[in-house]
Chains A and B, each alone.
Chain A
Amino acid sequence: MMEGKVDVKFGEWIQQGWELYKANIGIWIVASLLVIVISVATLGILSGPMMAGMAWMALVLVDRKEPKPQMGDVFKGFDYFLQSFLFYLVWGVIMLAVSFVTLIPCIGTLVVIVVSIALNTALMFGLFLIVDKKMEFWPASMLSLNVVKPNFFPLLGLLVVAGLIGQVGSIACGIGVIVTMPITVCILAVAYRNVFGVQAAA
């Protein structure tokens, strides 16, 4: 397991993520639409399992496994329902608690922004570990944190770039996110597989 320094290959990983997305664009758009509609309709309760489904699809494509994932495979995330649900619930509640710091004048908002960016970076591989290695949410979060810690700034850079690409779609009244969000998932799946290696797959 990579708990030391990792060689973060920005260009290569983004290129591979883009290729994965481009080759299966139809499936990704429908899957993304399902994820967003169901997550919003259920007040975020199903965000965890739906995103786990997308992570599962991305990992199958990264590993070039056959058969290729289909649109309905986004519901595969329900095989990891409890852990993915708890992952989103627990870290969501922690973020909500942290957001109360904004009540402190001047530095409050800055503190919340820094903490949320740091937390998102630390947990960037959490959901992939739950899906790939069938880990429980807390050990997965801690393992993600331990791997990210020594490579914090390069991985933060990757997450910012991937996140910006994924959010480009929000310019078009937010609807474009359906098209661009899966690109972020693909880039992160490529990064996960490069950091943790194929042998890590259960």
Chain B
Amino acid sequence: MGATLEIRNLHVSINDTPILKGVNLTINQGETHALMGPNGSGKSTLAYALMGHPAYTVDSGEVIFDGVDMLELEADERSRLGLFLAFQYPVAVPGVTVANFLRSAINARRKSENPEDPGITIPDFRRLLKNKMDLLGIDHKFAGRYLNEGFSGGEKKRNEVLQLATLEPKIGILDETDSGLDIDALRIVADGVNKLKGPQLGILVITHYKRMLEYLQPSFVHMIMDGQIVESGGPELADEIEEYGYKPFFAKHGVEATED
């Protein structure tokens, strides 16, 4: 049976300012969900809080992943359990190659399962990484570049997808992976994610725009406003938002419109 990420009545604040005000959402391995919402509605806060960023304080609620209470765990433990966050703004780590980084990440997982594990051999790792880069159409030279250093916007996002492909999480959250990309870069990144879709991967795509969703075809679409999920439906919800914007929904849910 697949893993489930279950978010129950989650309240999160930053510097004592409440941002999430009771989010409920369940994602099963193999499903693709989209989370849409206007600026400042709490989309990225949800992503960071799920991954365990120390600046985000969980005030109440529960996050259960694969039967484990995630809120007790550090970010690295959450990752090793099979949760992944593709960052909107990936951080540069000078001097650390993409390959070295990914190999360390794989070994960290293996060691947490078995402390005696000697880690993946270099030939095995090379093969794995090559396969993943070929799958995503990424130049092999990429592996030798320093992590996110001097990467273009598109390269950063492709690098996030490469990590998603290599680490094979159970649930992957894509935090505005489409932001800052032109239409060609967006297609390449979305194609990559599409190739990873399957029964082993649950996806939560966070986005402002429908464009990304046209590629990814989520079965479930949710709308977040003022820290709560106010609408959930199928792809038609995304169409509705695309056509009318968020305005009608502000009125419908009695939420004051935020500056966009």
Q: Are A and B genuine complex partners?
A: no
Which positions in A face B, CB cutoff 8 Å? none
